[in-house]
Amino acid sequence: MSGHVAFVGAGPRAVSALERLLALHRAAGPAPALRVTMIDPYPAGRGRTWRADQSPLLLSNTSVAATTMFPASSSSGPDFLTWVRTVVDGGFPDWVRRDAEGLTPWAQHTRRLQGQYQRWVFRRLAATAPPHATVTEIRDSVVDLVPRAHGRSELILRGGRRVHADVVVLTQGFLPHRPSGEVRELGDAAAAAGLLHLPPGAAAETDWDLVPPGADVLVRGLGPTFFDMMGLLFEGRGGRYTGSGRRLHYVPSGREPRLLVGSRAGLPKPAQHPARVPEPRLTHLGADRTAALLAAHRGRHSLPFAAIRPSVLREIGAAFGAAAWTWTDLHAPTAGRRFASPAHWQAFVDGWAQRESVGALDGRPSPWSDARAAVLAVRAVLDELDAAGCFTDPASGPGPLAAFHREASRVTSGPPAVRFAQFLALRRQGLVVLTGPGQRLDVHGGRFRGRSDAVPGAVWHAEVAVEAYVAFGALESAEDPLMAALLRGGRVRPHRAPPSAGPSTSLDIDPHRWAAIRRDGTVDSRLIVLGMPGSAHQQAVGRAGLPRAGDRFFAETEQAARSVLDALPTPVREPRVS
């Protein structure tokens, strides 16, 4: 019989799983017919995040040379850098050529250009599918998934269409969530006082025209959404930058607001280096040590992360040479600190900005940028050991390895260098002010009020408040009809995290097959979960693939593809090669 696979969500992770699925199907030789349907309200490959109708001021958080849709072991297609170099030759819309012109390997590119690449990859895969395999897309949303006879599923679409599939793959990405109680309370208080409160959401989908020129705006969040809104509210309103590096200067348009910005940490994540940073040569976790660890622990889950954590920190510390440092200084420089006054806080920010400017503005190596490169190299080793089943406490669990990865992500996932340089230029002119760690917002005296737990005496008032982040929380609060239906019907269940971890943000899935676990504890081999809904066991979420061997992104999408093939009613025999 013919096998039919339906992907719910068609962003880059789904397209990567499709690429792996077709590659394995092709390698199998003569095989039963395979039909694949990609279902998403947005064009396959782009998804919601990489749409073509967004501003060119919205940048990707990775560089051109650090992005690909094809694993290093594959010859199926070009990485992003190679593709960009073909764009300027023609055959693409004018805006694509404009966005691609002049890009260097380590520059940040527009989000819509990366979406164009991912769309191109999808079309190429569909056009070059192996014999007896077909790929189609449906622009719609799935609102329910009903089990049918013989293990099949009926997907009910918002537009009324019904699709039957043998295997379903959930690749929905970030799900919209209802705001938390604190955010709802602030919104209600703002509405009662006639104030503008913008709730959590993607910057590309927010109406920034509502923010009046010259207004003071209290902002909660210093992550990617903040840097997006910064671009849209300054350059997007006619402002411009002159000079470069430390001499970058902002020329106002007169239409910009003043942003008063805080977060839990009070500082942005470290900026990315504007050029390629040489990969460090690891001495404590080099090739020989890694090979020995693999030989001793592969598949045995017998290596505690605590046993090699000292080696991890020595590798990172080697970047600092003789300079004094701590791991906390690198990943959480404000943790546990209290500042005697607002002046002391601003002096601390000045010192931090000076430290970060060396790499981000000048492009020169610094102990801090070298340490971040070491963190990336160490994480690649840890990923290899984790994927081989070495650790007693895997990165997908609640233990110290997972905690280290969370801390390391704060070091390696900061804003593009160009955005950081602009941020510092705006700060020098007083148009962006950091208000302190642990910022709290409320409505007082008919205005928004912002205070920092760590900076006594620092009080800020504003007419507008913005939640500059995308809400992500418990699955039960997701505003997604399909997820609600799956939970209600017992087809899936939330991951059972320790009580101290708070509400679960991930589904419970088989840690080896990515198959969903039903409410009754049985495994549904025909429902595969990949990406944010499976984040309890999958680490490469929220990013694209890296053009290096062994990248976790491709290991996870390939495992999803293998699980799909294994679950089809007429098994597709494929060689067990990666």
Cβ-based neighbours of 316, under 8 Å, separated by 6 or more: 327, 330, 371, 374, 375, 378
Q: What angle do CA 576, 22, 53 make, to 5 degrees?
A: 135
Cβ-based neighbours of 278, under 8 Å, separated by 6 or more: 373
Q: What is the DSSP string of 299-341?
A: TT--B-HHHHHHHHHHHHHHTTTTS---HHHHH-TTTT---SS
143-182 exposure pattern, b = at least 16 Cβ within 10 A, e = fewer: bbbeeeeeebbebbbeeeeebebbbbbbbbbbbebbbeee
CA distance 457 to 444: 16
pLDDT of residue 540: 67
pLDDT of residue 181: 86
pLDDT of residue 428: 95
CA-based nearest residue to 23, from 121, 165, 163: 121
CA-based nearest residue to 305, from 321, 285, 325: 285
Q: Determine contact, residues 455/339, Cβ cutoff 8 Å.
A: yes
pLDDT of residue 465: 98
DSSP letter for 478, please: B
**277-to-106, 369, 417 alpha-carbon distances in Å:** 10, 8, 13
What pTM does this model have? 0.91
CA distance 326 to 304: 22
- Name the token pair of 432: 């962006």
pLDDT of residue 512: 84
pLDDT of residue 433: 97
pLDDT in tens, 364-390: 778 888 888 899 899 989 988 988 889
Q: What angle do CA 448, 451, 454 make, to 5 degrees?
A: 165
Q: What angle do CA 110, 115, 120 make, to 5 degrees?
A: 130
pLDDT of residue 531: 84
- Name the token pair of 280: 């460090």
Strand pairing class (216-220; 464-467): parallel
Alpha helices in 447-522 (DSSP H): 481-489
Percent of the chain with pLDDT over 90: 67
- Name the token pair of 36: 């694949």
Q: Which domains does the chain have, with CATH numbers?
A: 3-48+122-176+473-567 (3.50.50.60), 181-268+419-467 (3.50.50), 287-336+358-412 (no CATH)
CA distance 112 to 99: 9
Q: For each successive 10 residues of the chain (578 residues), what is the average pLDDT?
A: 88 96 88 92 94 95 91 85 87 92 92 96 95 95 95 96 97 83 94 96 94 97 95 97 92 97 94 77 93 96 96 92 87 94 96 86 80 90 89 80 90 88 95 96 97 94 95 79 94 76 77 92 96 78 75 89 91 44
